[in-house]
A and B are shown apart, each in its own frame.
Chain A
C-alpha cells in the first residue's frame, strides 16, 4: 500500500540540527547552572542553608507530582487531574485524624490511616483515569479532564468548601519534621525520585513503560501487557498526587480544597518538558524532571528575589515551557 507523504521538507542545516540536539541534551543542566551562578553573583545571601531549604521545600511537591507525570508521559499519555487529586488527598487526610469522617479511637492509628487512605483513594481515582484511557480508548487529555473538573468539586463537596485548620504533630511531620536537619518532605522527594529512577533503570516495569511509549504496537507484539502498564502509571500518578496533597496541607496546617494543588498539572508538565522528556512518549528522564522542577523553582525564586513581580514569573514560565518543548521536538527529529 502506498502511503501519502507530504512533500519532503527541506532539511535544516546540519549545524542547526546539532544545536537543537545539544540544547535538548544539555540545555536544562546549563540553564540550572547558569541560574545558580547568576544568583551567587547577584542575589544576596543566596549561598545559605536557609535559601537551600526554602527552595527544596517549595520544589518537593512539584517534583513528586512531576515524577508521576513523567511516567504517564513516557507511555505517551498525560494526566491533567493531578491538581484536583491533590485537593482530594489534602481534604481527606484532616477529615480522618480530626474524626470528621469516622470516630477516632487512637490518634497514632488515625494518623497512620490519614497517610494511607488518601493516597489509596487518589490512586484509585488514577486507576479510573487509566480505565478511561485503556478500556474506553479515550484520549488521555480528555479522560483526565473529567477528574480535573470533577475532582476539585469532590474535594470541595467533601469539606463543604470550608477551610480545615488543624495542628497535629504526627501528621505534620511529613512537611514540618526534619531528619538530621533535612526537611522530611525533601527526604520523601528524594526517596520517591530515587525509587522512580531505579524502577526505570532496573525493573521490568520500567522497560515496559518506555516500550509502550516508544512503539505501542511493537510493544504489544512482544507480549507486553500494554493496558496493564498504562493502568499502573495512571494509578501511580494519582497516588503521588495524593502524597503531594498531604504535604501541602501539612505544611499549611490547613486544608483548603479550593487552593490545594491549583495549577499543579502545569508545573508538573512544565518540569517534565523542561527536564527533557519528550511529550510524545518513549522516554522517561527522572533526573531531568527533578532538574526541570528545580529550574522552574529557581527561575521563580530568582525573579522574586530580585524584585520582579510574581506575575512576570508566569510569563517567563510560559516562555520556558514553549522553548523547552520546541527544542525537544527539534532535537527528537534528528
Chain B
C-alpha cells in the first residue's frame, strides 16, 4: 500500500467537511476519486498535500506516518498534484516549467542545453515531441497537462493526483492523457484521478473511492462497480427529508411556454442544450458536475454569449448581450457561487436586495428610500430573513439567509422567469425545504422557475419536469409522471458515446 488515509476528520469554523474519510492507494494503481460538489474530495486532497491540517485521523505514505504542513513538503516526499491549469507559469518555456526551482546548472549558470535535452527526453517517454523552448501558454490544455506531469516525474513523484484532468480536453487529447497515465503506471507511479465523466473512469481507473457528505461511502475495483451503483453511491438517497410539493402531473403541460432553449451551444462546455420552462412551473435541470448546467444558465441570462442555437422568451427570439438585457425582459438569476457572483459583501442587506431594482426605485437618480425600506421590510418578513436590521452587512449573515436576500433581490423586481442555480447549496436542512416551498409558492403565482440542482431529492420533490444534461448536451427530459430516482440515475449515468 503506497498511501493510506484513515479516519480523516476536518471542520471549518465548526462545520464538518470531512467525517472519517479514508483513501487507500496501492503501488502502480490508478484510483478514481468521485463524489458530488461538497462531498469532501478537495478537502481530503488538500489534507494529503499539506495545504490543510487534519483534525483527526492518520496518513501513511510509503510505509511511514506523515503529516505535511505545506505543499512543498509533500512534493519533496513524492506527491505531485496536477490541477487543471494553474500550476504552470504560462509565459515560461516548456523546459523551464519542468525544471523551475531545480534548474540544471553549470558554474552557477543555468545549463540551458542540458535542461532542453532532458526536458525533451522526459516528454519523449510520453510520445510527445514538441519544441521545449516555446512558452507553455501556446500549447493545448492536454500538452500543458503533460508538461505538468513531466515536471512531477522529474521530481520523482510516486503519487500523482490529477484534479479533473479531462474537463477541458477533447476526445483525442483524452486518449493522449490516458496513454500518459498508463506510462506512469508502468513506471511504478500511482495516480489519484478525480473526475466526473463516468465512461472515462471506467476506461482508465483500476479502483474507485466514492465520497459523499465528507465520508468515504464505497471503495471497489472499477469492474465490480456498475455505473448505476456508482451514481447511486455518489448521490445517496435521503428522500424523506422533503415533502413532495410538485404539481399534479398533467396540468403543467398545458401552460404557455415562457422560455424555450433550442440546440443552444457556446464553447466546449455547452454543446447542444434544449429545454423549456413553462409559466407557473418549476423546471429542473440536472446533471453531474461539469455537465454544463451553470454554463447553460449563464447563456440564458446573457452573462455569456450564445454561439449556436436559439433562445425564445415568451415566444420571441431573444439575443441578450449582457445580463441587463435579460433583466429588462424579466429574467433573474440566483447564481451558484454566492460569494463570487452574488453578494456584494460589504453592502447592507437592504442595498444587496434592491440592486437589480434600483432603476425602478430611483426618481431622477435619487433612490426613494421610503419605498426601498418598505420593499426590503416586506421581503425580509416574507422570506423570513434573520438579521439584526436591514442595515447589517450581508457578509455577516448565514449562508441560508444570504441566499434568501439574493432570492429577494430578484423577487422584488417581479420577474417572469427565475433561474436558481443550486439554490440550497451550503444551507442547513431546515432552510432548504423552506426555500423549496418558497419557490413552489412563487411558481403557483405564475412565475417560471428553472432550478439547477445536483441534489436529486430536491428535484424529485419540487420539479414539474427535469431536463438532464450530460457533457454539455441535454440527453433526456423527464416529465413529472416519469420522474423517479431510478429514471434520473439512469439518465445521468448516460454518457454521450
Contact = CB atoms under 8 A, between A and B. Distances in A.
Indicate whether A and B are direct neighbours in the complex (CB within 8 Å).
Answer: yes
Interface of A: 1-8, 202-205, 207-208, 210-211, 214-215, 217-225, 282-283
Interface in B335-349: 335, 340-347
9 contacts: A2-B45, A3-B86, A202-B366, A204-B367, A211-B347, A215-B343, A217-B341, A218-B340, A221-B301
Nearest to B37: A1
Nearest to A8: B52
Contacts of B46: 5
Contacts of B42: 2
A204 B347 contact: no
B345 A207 contact: no
Interface of B: 41-42, 45-46, 50-53, 69-71, 83-84, 86-87, 163-164, 167, 194, 301, 303, 322-324, 327-328, 333, 335, 340-347, 351, 355-356, 358-359, 361-362, 365-367, 369, 409
Contact of A204 (B163, B323, B340, B365): B365
Nearest to B359: A204
Given A205-B365, A223-B324, A7 B83 contact: no
Contacts of A217: 340-341
Given A204-B361, A205-B365, A214 B347 contact: yes
Contact of A1 (B167, B303, B355, B358): B167
Contact of A222 (B86, B164, B328, B355): B355
Contact of A218 (B84, B341, B362, B367): B341
B107 to A, nearest CB: 34
A219 B344 contact: yes
B344 A282 contact: yes
A204 B344 contact: no
A202 B367 contact: yes
A223 B327 contact: yes
B344 A210 contact: yes
A282 B303 contact: no
B70 A7 contact: yes
B345 A2 contact: no
Contacts of A207: 347, 351, 355, 358, 367
A203 B343 CA distance: 20
B341 A283 contact: no
Contacts of B345: 214-215, 282
Given A211-B355, A224-B324, 13 more contacts: A1-B163, A1-B167, A7-B50, A7-B70, A8-B51, A204-B361, A204-B362, A207-B358, A219-B344, A220-B323, A221-B323, A222-B327, A222-B409
Contact of A7 (B69, B303, B323, B342): B69
Contacts of B194: 2
Contacts of B70: 7
A2 B85 CA distance: 11
Contact of A214 (B45, B328, B346): B346
A224 B163 CA distance: 35
Given A1-B84, A282-B344, A222 B356 contact: yes
Contacts of B365: 203-205
Contacts of A2: 41-42, 45, 83, 163-164, 194
Contact of A221 (B53, B333, B358, B362): B333
A84 B277 CA distance: 56
Contacts of B322: 220
Nearest to A210: B347
Nearest to B340: A217
A164 to B, nearest CB: 38
A219 B355 contact: yes
B172 to A, nearest CB: 23
Contacts of B45: 2
Contact of B335 (A202, A204, A221, A223): A221
A1 B42 CA distance: 9
Nearest to B324: A223
Contacts of A202: 366-367, 369
Given A204-B362, A215-B344, A221-B341, A4 B87 contact: yes
A182 to B, nearest CB: 28
A221 B323 CA distance: 6
Contacts of B86: 3-4
A4 B87 CA distance: 9
B495 to A, nearest CB: 20
Given A4-B87, A5-B46, A211 B344 contact: yes
Nearest to A211: B344
B164 A1 contact: yes
